[in-house]
Every structure is written in structure tokens, then in C-alpha cells.
Amino acid sequence: MTDPIFVEGGILVPAESMQMKAVRASGPGGQNVNKVASKVELRVDLDLIRGIDAASRRRLQHLVAKRLNSEGKLVITSQRSRDQHRNLQDARRKIHDYIAKAASPPQKRTPTKPSRSALERRLAAKHQRSERKRERHEPLEIED
């Protein structure tokens, strides 16, 4: 069993909401990879997370939608290290980061207008491009 994860703002991921499973990792490691289960798979029941408001919970669901299994549990894997304990810490950090990101509301975008000089530069560049393309054409012959 793993320890609970504490997130800013009084959000708690209780230990009973997480299930850890160690599996064999892929990638480098030589023969060690074939005999040691160092990859960590951490499953979190999002419904058991305490202290998270409804809006943050919706943002979290949207943020981790591709990482949810058929039961609706968040599945986080880590195989960065050859050490199972480090991979567990990395998986716990990933969960913490997802929840912290969902807990902070997104910043509102303040619409802005381009400055007059930026507008003039854009129009000058368009005019220059237009001139360059116009000069590529052969001049029209005018008959008298």
C-alpha cells in the first residue's frame, strides 16, 4: 500500500484509492529487464479523492480522459528508472501534477488589438509581397 498524496488547497488522494502493480519494464536494462518488475502501474479511483470541488473534478476528468480505464480509474505508469521505488515516486508525482493543474482554474484570455504599427507593418509586408508577385508577370502589350 502506498502513502496518501497531499496536494495544495487541502486536496487528498487517500491511500485506499490507489492500487500499485509492478510489472516488467521494456527498454534498456539488459537481462535485468527480463527478471525484475521495475515498471510501476498506479491506478487511482478519482471518485475517492477528497477536498476537490466539482469544477476541478470536471477539469481533472477532462485532463486525464485518455488515461482512464474501462472502470473509470486513472492509470499512470512509470518506467523511467530501473528502480521500482523511484518509478513509484515518479508515478505519484505525475498524479500530484495532474490534480494540481486541475485544481487551479484556467486563466481568462483578455482579448487584445494589434498596435497601429503592427497593423502597418503587416499591410506593408502584404503590399511588398503583392508587388513582388506582380513583377513576375510579363507586361501586357497595348495595341494602338
Q: Where are the domains of the chain?
A: 5-103
pLDDT value for 144: 65
Class of domain 5-103: alpha beta
pLDDT value for 3: 86
The pTM score is 0.72
pLDDT value for 141: 77
- Reduced DSSP (H G I as helix, E B as strand, rest coil) percent helix, strand, coil of the chain, to 5: 45, 20, 35
Low-confidence ranges of the chain (pLDDT < 70): 1, 27-30, 33, 144
Phi, psi of 40 (to 5 degrees): -115, 135
Q: All 3 cell numbers of residue 130?
A: 503583392
pLDDT value for 1: 57
Helices 84-103 and 54-63: angle between axes, nearest 10 degrees? 130
pLDDT value for 61: 92
pLDDT value for 28: 67
| 8 A C-beta contact, residue 95 and residue 42 | yes
pLDDT value for 25: 78
